[in-house]
């Protein structure tokens, strides 16, 4: 029987350190060729909604699965069905809103671990939506961050977000009144917005800054300006194939030019040391996060195994003879 894990179950089980470990190992498996990824696809529905789906298989852990999620009438619903690849057995159905937020943060955490300078202390966060806090939590877990400057367009919301974040990380949190005030002098810059146009400018970036650009995953949208992309000494993404479909931050600069895309490297290659995450202290580095299914399968497998160990979740009789 499959194990049904609700949002409440996932919140009870999943921690950021667990997600960071799972996502880093997933990228190592990708580099070794034992983790197979299929990029996100979208179905547009007549009610201006979407069905999104993407899949992955890990032949080391023994799990395969996909993330399916819908958007309709302002609501998102996420589900990860998890299977054993050798038998085809459905082992879990995981409600995956919270898990998605944590695994997306973990991907930025892994990128920061391998691309940011060791001595970074200050973070700029642009965006105060539902995905934003886990971004900061992950970065604070891999670097000794002392100060986070937060900007969001709504003053009341960004102040409330800053108060909430102060309870979750061991760093001073300040809500600031412009993206430029957040970014200038920051060692790590995180953009996680729904913006269609750039929210930061290259002129604001300090030498040696690392950027996690997370919010945009549509070809017509970008959060960082073209000059930032052109200035970056190292550009990594969680999937080059998927980036060519939906990473507007890169697509709008590189177009279909294969030579320009050759600058982009898979984060997996940096994690295993095949490619350096940076070449010197003053270099700008950029991680363009797409959010890929290897992260969902890797984290989902850890959550499932821990749920079995602790007796969490509810058995659902499916595919019984």
Say whether pLDDT at 320 is over 80.
no
Write down the CATH number for the domain with range 2-100+294-316: 3.30.1780.10
Is the pTM of the predicted complex or chain greater than 0.85? yes
Fold for the domain defined by 117-291? Rossmann fold (3.40.50)
26-54 per-position pLDDT tens digit: 999 999 999 899 999 999 989 889 999 99
Q: How confident is the model at residue 110 (pLDDT cuts 50, 70, 90)?
A: very high
> What per-residue confidence (pLDDT) applies to 187?
98
Stretch 98-122: mean pLDDT, rounded? Answer: 98
Identical topology for domains 2-100+294-316 and 117-291: no
Which whole-number Å values give the CA distances from 247 to 56, 88, 146, 188, 238, in the listed order? 19, 32, 31, 20, 11
Do 24 and 271 contact (CB within 8 A), yes or no?
Answer: yes
Tell me what pLDDT residue 70 has: 96
For residues 198-224, give the mean pLDDT: 95
What residues contact 200, with CB distance under 8 A and at least 6 apart? 126, 179, 183, 189, 191, 211, 223, 224, 225, 228
Q: What is the mean pLDDT of residues 190-210?
A: 96
Give the pLDDT mean for 202-222. 94
CB 186 within 8 A of CB 209: yes
pLDDT digits (tens, 9 = 90+) for 254-294: 998 899 999 999 999 999 999 999 999 999 999 999 999 99
CA 113, CA 116: separation in Å to the nearest integer? 6
Identify which of 145, 205, 198, 211 has the alpha carbon closest to the alpha carbon of residue 174. 145
Looking at residue 216, its pLDDT comes to 83
Mean pLDDT computed over every residue of the chain: 96
Question: pLDDT band at 97, cuts 50/70/90?
Answer: very high
Alpha helices in the chain (DSSP H): 7-13, 16-32, 97-115, 132-142, 155-166, 179-183, 226-231, 240-246, 248-254, 258-261, 267-271, 293-310
Phi first, then psi: give them for residue 53, nearest 5 degrees: -155, 145
Residue boundaries of the structural domains of the chain: 2-100+294-316, 117-291
| pLDDT for position 47 | 86
């Amino acid at each position: 029987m499959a194990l049904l894990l609700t949002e409440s179950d996932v919140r009870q089980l999943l921690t950021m350190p667990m997600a960071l470990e799972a996502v880093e190992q997933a990228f190592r498996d990708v580099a070794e060729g034992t983790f197979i990824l299929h990029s996100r696809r979208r179905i547009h529905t007549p009610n201006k909604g979407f069905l999104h789906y993407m899949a992955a298989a890990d032949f080391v852990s023994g799990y395969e699965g996909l993330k399916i999620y819908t958007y309709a009438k302002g609501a998102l619903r996420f589900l990860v069905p998890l299977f054993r690849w050798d038998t085809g057995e459905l082992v879990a159905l995981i409600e995956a809103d919270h898990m998605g937020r944590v695994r997306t943060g973990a991907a930025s955490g892994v990128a920061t671990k391998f691309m940011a300078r060791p001595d970074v202390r200050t973070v700029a966060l642009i965006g105060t939506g539902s995905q934003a806090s886990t971004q900061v939590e992950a970065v604070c877990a891999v670097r000794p961050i002392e100060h986070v400057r937060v900007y969001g367009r709504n003053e009341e919301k960004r102040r409330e977000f800053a108060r909430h974040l102060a309870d979750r990380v061991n760093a001073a949190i300040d809500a600031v009144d412009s993206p430029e005030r957040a970014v200038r002098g920051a060692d790590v810059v995180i953009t996680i917005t729904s913006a269609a146009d750039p929210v930061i400018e290259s002129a604001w970036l300090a030498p040696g800054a690392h950027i996690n650009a997370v919010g945009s995953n549509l070809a017509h949208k970008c959060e960082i300006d073209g000059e930032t992309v052109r200035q970056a000494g190292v550009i990594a993404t969680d999937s080059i194939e998927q980036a060519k479909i939906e990473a507007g931050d890169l697509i709008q600069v590189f177009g279909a030019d294969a030579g320009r895309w050759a600058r982009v490297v898979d984060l997996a290659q940096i994690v295993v040391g095949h490619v350096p995450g940076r070449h010197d202290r003053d270099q700008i580095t950029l991680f363009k996060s797409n959010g890929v299914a290897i992260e969902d399968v890797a984290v989902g497998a850890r959550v499932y195994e821990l749920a079995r160990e602790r007796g969490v979740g509810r058995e659902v009789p499916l595919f019984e003879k």
